[in-house]
A and B are shown apart, each in its own frame.
Chain A
Amino acid sequence: MPDAVAEVPAVASAPALSLRGLSKRFGSTVAVAGVDLDIPAGSFYGVVGPNGAGKTTTLSMATGLLTPDSGTVHVHGIDLWRHPAQAKPMLGVLPDGLHTFDRLTGAELISYAGLLRGMDPAVVRERRDDLLAALDLDASSRTLVTDFSAGMKKKIVLACALVHAPRVLVLDEPFEAVDPVSAGAIRRILAAFVETGGTVVMSSHVMALVERLCDRVAIVGRGRVLAHGTLDEVRGGMDLEERFVALVGDKAEHRDLEWLRQARE
């Protein structure tokens, strides 16, 4: 296996991740209905949308986990579904809601991810120890992942996504269940990654977090991209949450739960 990062022919002008006409249907449900999105290299890109908008399905298709019904995915100009051996090494992936190999220890899971990508064992060792320290997982590196808390599992999977120094990180809800201290550490790692030219694509439900971290945003709803661009373009003078609710459509009725009101003394 070649060392992934070095040998890939870089297409300098191409976006880090380019989705064209992606669609996916499960039975009679259309999960994703033609998503076009260009994610420029070096951007910190936020993907927001209500539950069931198709965020996870889109990110799965963009990372090789789910075959699209139609459409293409290019990573730095290379067709992911045609040339997975060249495209996948450029990606670091953190999926949401999937199991991990939880009978391995934290340290072993990182090593496994590195060795699987053909990295030199000595390099794996060095980076594994760096990642464990950076993500504050030192103390539990020898514990089985099955005994980890939800937040620790997120962190160890993030470490696996980072170990091969990818060019593009695709993270599905990376801050869910992570405590504020660890979240700070993750934010710093991601910010430094973007600063040096890396690309992060992140989905989230938390608008404040997206506004704070991302320079570009896409709002996804009912399987389509409803708005995309720089943070200010998308916000258009409102705050992101207002804009989001305006685009996605508020609930038709705000029913008042009168019976829930407590009697005042």
Chain B
Amino acid sequence: MLRTVLRLRLTTTWHQLQRDWWRVLFLLGGAVWSLSLVPAVLWAARILGYNDAQTKAEALAVVAGVLLLGWIIVPLLVTGLDDTLDPSRFASLGIEPGRLAPSLGVATLLTVPGLFFAFVLIGLATSWRTEHPKPWPLLAGIVGAILTWLAMVFAARIAAAWGARVLGSRRSREAALLVSLVVLAIAVPAVWVIVRDGLELVLEYDLRVLMRQLDVTPVGAGMSAPRHLVEGDAWGTVWRLGMMLAWVAVLARAWRATVAHALVNPVYRGGGARTRDDSILALAQRRGDARPHRAVRARLVRYWFSDPRYLSNLVGVIVMPIAVVALLVPVLGLDARWTFVAPVLLAATIGWGRHNDVAYDSTALWVDVTAGRLGTAVMRGRMEAVLVWAVPAVAVLAVAALAWTRAWWLAPALVGACVGVLGSTLGVSAITAVVFPYRAPAPGESPFGAEVGSVGASLIAQLMSSLATAAVLPLSVVPLVLALALDPRWGWVSAIVGTVSGIGVYLLGVRAGGVVYDRRSGSLVGLVA
């Protein structure tokens, strides 16, 4: 069974490489990167060897914690990931979970990243060889490293299996909300403590407490266990390794249960008890006439607030700039005027984020294409649907920044810059979305996944839209910077230039995007499919 699974894995990888040559580059890049880290790991192990047992144990526990976090999060977020070993793919073969689960588990351990991180953990554990009583700390360290590695890989597999199920289901909105709440619950007190105590004190004190906790949990206990042996507490080492062993056993059981569950429970996207009135028609009836762009806008507004792919985009695009500024300004002790970056950055990320807007319709865009020559109406409706939530979001943040700094005299400058940035980035996106569309997750797929094969196209599209955005942004941003740094009178320049350029580029972009849409209507379905 194990041999079959491994051969399957190798064969699919080989075929993939034959189909998409650029994957070789990624593979080579990954290999070079991994190899380049080998000396660094050995060097780190050597440096650690010079340190006392406590420092070593704490450092190793933190490394284990960070790696665990990475192993869990990266597979959920990285696009175009290989899912050959997804248990549910084996469902139709009728294999007992008891035979399949160990094979899939071992096959995961034997992947390139799996082996590489085994090397990293064991390599770091060799730093215990300088300790007495010889050779027991080194031995305990290696055993602990292997257990930590097993726990890490299994935890990651279990998380990926369930994460993919949740993201692919209709419950993803609730799940995303829950995760955001958890992140907030951790981030808010953390920021508050940092603001209160200052970064240095936090690093010195709170982080220490956290590190000490890692030592007694399955996250870091395996890596820090030898310390207690060195300090004469052999029992401390034994029970930590025992706990790790038990933890690995629990995870192995959980993995088996996960495989067994996945085999007989295909992802179920139903739950369609929710009903709605026909709001698309109601809107048109209220207006008393039918303008195609209004229908498109109404449809996109529905998507923005109900489709997980759009929702995750919306949440990410709004949270990111706010989080960056809210963290950096107090932590780095920056001047309050830096808060003005937040609304401008928000406008830019919203606008640039729509550079692949059309592809999110996936092949469903045939409805728009076959209905006539509607490019301009379609692009107008799409972009107006973004404005429906983007304008309030940017406005709220701009007012918040002004209120926080009490620099109300800078309001014209800030409003001008925001209108300019939002309008011009959306205008650019309206064009790139039809000139360089690349495959986005299809309806019902995980919002973070990109289909295999789109990486090359997405790189070009992102590069081009970034360049175009970089070309139009200075027009709106420079006057604001001058108003902040030099002379408030630049604010009026910002207000006029920003408003004119923002609205102008937006209208031009939508018009041009519509024309290109019509011209390329015969290839759009193929490009996003």
Contact = CB atoms under 8 A, between A and B. Distances in A.
A and B physically associate: yes
A104 B302 contact: yes
Contacts of B292: 1, 115-118
A124 B290 contact: yes
A46 to B, nearest CB: 21
Given A115-B294, A115-B295, A146-B444, A128 B281 contact: yes
Interface string A103-144: 111011001111111111110110010000000000001111
B525 interface: yes
12 contacts: A1-B292, A61-B522, A65-B369, A65-B525, A84-B373, A102-B444, A105-B276, A115-B294, A116-B372, A118-B291, A144-B272, A147-B272
- Categorize the interface residue count of chain A: 35 or more
A160 B368 CA distance: 11
Given A116-B295, A117-B292, A144-B274, 4 more contacts: A88-B370, A112-B280, A115-B292, A124-B284
B284 A121 contact: yes
Contacts of B180: none
B236 interface: no
Contacts of A101: 299, 303, 361, 364, 367
Interface string A91-108: 101010111111111011
B284 A111 contact: yes
Interface of B: 269-272, 274-281, 284-285, 287-292, 294-296, 298-299, 302-303, 306-307, 361-364, 366-374, 442-444, 518, 521-523, 525-526, 529
B278 A107 contact: yes
Contact of B521 (A4, A84, A146): A84
Contacts of B361: 99, 101
Interface of A: 1, 4, 60-61, 63-68, 81, 84-85, 88-89, 91, 93, 95, 97-105, 107-108, 111-122, 124-125, 128, 141-144, 146-147, 160
A84 B278 CA distance: 29
Contacts of A4: 372
Nearest to B274: A144
B278 A105 contact: yes
A66 B372 contact: no
B373 A88 contact: yes
Contact of B290 (A1, A81, A104, A108): A1
A122 B523 CA distance: 34
Contacts of A117: 292, 371-372
A112 B299 contact: yes
A111 B280 contact: yes
B372 A85 contact: yes
B443 A95 contact: no
A115 B370 CA distance: 13
Contacts of A146: 269, 272, 443-444
A29 B331 CA distance: 59
Nearest 7 A-B pairs (CB), nearest first?
A147-B272, A67-B522, A142-B275, A111-B281, A115-B295, A85-B373, A98-B363
A103 B302 contact: yes
Given A95-B366, A107-B281, A111-B284, A66 B523 contact: yes
Nearest to A108: B280
A102 B365 CA distance: 12
A102 B295 CA distance: 15
A60 B363 CA distance: 12
A84 B443 contact: no
A67 B523 contact: yes
Nearest to A92: B370
A67 B106 CA distance: 48
Contact of A113 (B362, B371, B523): B371
Given A103-B303, A107-B278, A84 B523 contact: no
A120 B466 CA distance: 41
A4 B290 CA distance: 13
Contact of B443 (A81, A103, A121): A103
A111 B281 CA distance: 6
Given A88-B371, A144-B272, A64 B522 contact: yes
Q: Which of B295, B302, B443 has the most CB of A within 10 A?
A: B295
B296 A116 contact: yes
A125 B372 CA distance: 21
Contact of A98 (B281, B290, B364): B364
A115 B189 CA distance: 50
Contacts of B284: 111, 115, 121, 124
A99 B526 CA distance: 13
Contacts of A107: 278, 281
Nearest to B518: A84
